[in-house]
A and B are shown apart, each in its own frame.
Chain A
Amino acid sequence: MTARRALLFVLVWLWVGIPFIYGLYELTLKLKQLFTG
């Protein structure tokens, strides 16, 4: 894989990964309520 392709690879996975991690983080906050609520 060339350097440009590697950079593209990292960028596109971050593009979809960051919002996904945000969603998971918000979900864990909700999950806590099951045990503390």
Chain B
Amino acid sequence: MRALARSRTVAPPGWSRWLVPPAALSIHLAIGQAYAWSVFKPPLESALHLSGTASALPFQLAIVMLGLSAAFGGTLVERRGPRWAMCVSTVCFAAGFLVAALGAAAGRFWLVVLGYGFLGGIGLGIGYISPVSTLIKWFPDRPGMATGIAIMGFGGGALIASPWSTGLLGSLGSDTSGIARTFLVMGLVYAVFMTLGVLLVRVPADDWRPPAEAPAGASAARPLVTTAQVSARSALRTPQFWCLWVVLCTNVTAGIGILEKAAPMLSDFFAHTAAPVSAPAAAGFVGMLSLANMLGRIGWSAASDLVGRKNVYRLYLGAGTLMYLLIALTGDASKPLFIACAMVILSFYGGGFATVPAYLKDLFGSYQVGAIHGRLLTAWSTAGILGPLIVNAVADGAKSAGRSGPDLYTTSLFIMIGLLAVGFAANELIRPVHPRHHQPPASGGQLADEPAAPKGAGQ
């Protein structure tokens, strides 16, 4: 266990900080598999005679566990360091697949739920936050870009897992034995793939500074960018944390509302036009949204390093409102316009996820930013329930009232506009954190309970 300690992961002199993003990506590209769970739903339903609601249970529990483990495990992740966190994530995520394989082989669905949902979900939550504070410490000059790379990996994970698991099920079979062998292969491959992150990750030494061409602290001159440090416990007592919680929740709700129902939404919108949408075209639309989501994560997050975090959220929430308004007002008049607006909204959705760690760093410093990020992810869990609930309930209600086409979604579009306006107002309320919440420095300039790192690491 000593090999996993933070003190054993301090970078030696000459260590390139560009070796840290691949460490983060090896975790995020793996755990992003969660978004490809839908591939397993039809085979599980037919092999174990499950309903659609039941087959969604492992995914739903995994997302709940993601939120809980990120919220409650954040402080432990900060204390034990990124290698320990990545190791826990690897063990839980891979073991989750192995337990699920056992469950599928034995025809015991509860074991699939326990393995993939409970164990795997802990791996998701700890893995999601594990590289955040380390990346921010290595890239103090470009925190948005650095966390954007990792969080883009989470989006990319589903792009890899979806065709890969479809191929495995195709070749190994989609009966209980085939599903079990697919889970087994995936668990073993992910264990090896994620181990790279565990072995590669390094934290910078205390005296490490970014290269000369990117001076550290250049961004500190901007308003809202603090040089002080706030602990995770104190952050929860600040209005800034809760304003940001509302910002993230509303932005994610607006994006998830489209993402969750993308294919049927496109088909319903243009059902009464001269060119209705076919099922393969709707699948292509879902792919297009995934691309926008992923590009938004790296693009907007990197842009936030230049224009500032508050401004970029003004764009997400303000322009997002306009995009929703355009969709609501134009209805089925233009398919390209609908697709373009949906893509912009999804790029803002991804950007919102990827920019938030850097926003937290600006407001609370890098001291316990991973733990604060973990607590903020409860906004994601809330939005994950709220977004689909709004869109599905409104569409079902409209359908039973005899409506069709764009009318199925008009009300939910205006609800999203209202939510984004609330998020915009919350973002405007964010001010620098009051000094009473700042962590007092102990003698020597180090924070009282900050883990010490030996000097001497290079760039």
Residues of chain A whose beta carbon lies under 8 Å from any beta carbon of chain B? 1-2, 5, 8-9, 12-13, 15-16, 19-20, 22-24, 26-27, 30-37
Asked if A5 and B284 make an inter-chain contact with CB atoms under 8 angstroms apart, the answer reads: no
A34/B153 contact (C-beta < 8 A), A9-B16, A23-B159, A23-B163 known: no
Q: Which of A2, A16, A27 contacts B153 (CB 8 A)?
A: A16
Which of chain B's residues 338-383 have a Cβ closer than 8 Å to chain A?
339
| CA A8 to CA B18, docked complex, whole Å | 11
| CA A33 to CA B193, docked complex, whole Å | 31
Q: How far is the CB of A33 from chain B (nearest CB, A)?
A: 4
Q: Which of A5, A8, A19, A34 contacts B288 (CB 8 A)?
A: A34
| CA A13 to CA B26, docked complex, whole Å | 10
Q: Which of A15, A16, A30 contacts B287 (CB 8 A)?
A: A30
- By a CB distance below 8 angstroms, the chain A residues around B159 are 20, 23-24, 26-27
Asked if B22 and A35 make an inter-chain contact with CB atoms under 8 angstroms apart, the answer reads: no
- B278 at the A interface (CB under 8 A): yes
- By a CB distance below 8 angstroms, the chain A residues around B445 are none
Asked if B26 and A33 make an inter-chain contact with CB atoms under 8 angstroms apart, the answer reads: no
Asked if B160 and A37 make an inter-chain contact with CB atoms under 8 angstroms apart, the answer reads: no
Known: A1-B14, A26-B162, A31-B288. 9 other contacts (CB 8 A): A1-B16, A15-B26, A15-B193, A23-B156, A26-B163, A27-B290, A31-B287, A33-B281, A34-B284
Asked if A9 and B288 make an inter-chain contact with CB atoms under 8 angstroms apart, the answer reads: no
SS of B interface (majority): helix
A33/B291 contact (C-beta < 8 A), A8-B19, A16-B153, A20-B29 known: no
Asked if A16 and B25 make an inter-chain contact with CB atoms under 8 angstroms apart, the answer reads: yes
- B285 at the A interface (CB under 8 A): yes
Some 11 contacts from A to B, beta carbons below 8 A apart, are: A9-B16, A12-B196, A16-B153, A26-B162, A27-B290, A30-B286, A31-B288, A32-B284, A34-B283, A37-B278, A37-B284
| CA A5 to CA B19, docked complex, whole Å | 9
- By a CB distance below 8 angstroms, the chain B residues around A27 are 159, 287, 290-291
Q: Which residue of A lies closest to B287 (CB)?
A: A30
Q: How far is the CB of A12 from chain B (nearest CB, A)?
A: 4
Q: Which residue of A lies closest to B25 (CB)?
A: A16
| CA A12 to CA B198, docked complex, whole Å | 12
Asked if B291 and A23 make an inter-chain contact with CB atoms under 8 angstroms apart, the answer reads: no
- By a CB distance below 8 angstroms, the chain A residues around B280 are 33, 36-37
- B279 at the A interface (CB under 8 A): yes
The residue among B160, B196, B279, B288 with the most chain A CB atoms within 10 A of its own CB is B160
| CA A32 to CA B14, docked complex, whole Å | 45
- By a CB distance below 8 angstroms, the chain A residues around B339 are 34
The residue among B23, B280, B283, B287 with the most chain A CB atoms within 10 A of its own CB is B287
Q: Which of A1, A19, A31 contacts B160 (CB 8 A)?
A: A19
Asked if B287 and A34 make an inter-chain contact with CB atoms under 8 angstroms apart, the answer reads: yes
| CA A26 to CA B279, docked complex, whole Å | 18
Q: Which residue of A lies closest to B284 (CB)?
A: A34
| CA A33 to CA B279, docked complex, whole Å | 9
Asked if B283 and A33 make an inter-chain contact with CB atoms under 8 angstroms apart, the answer reads: yes
A9/B153 contact (C-beta < 8 A), A15-B196, A34-B285 known: no
Q: How far is the CB of B68 from chain A (nearest CB, A)?
A: 28
Asked if B283 and A37 make an inter-chain contact with CB atoms under 8 angstroms apart, the answer reads: yes
- B200 at the A interface (CB under 8 A): yes
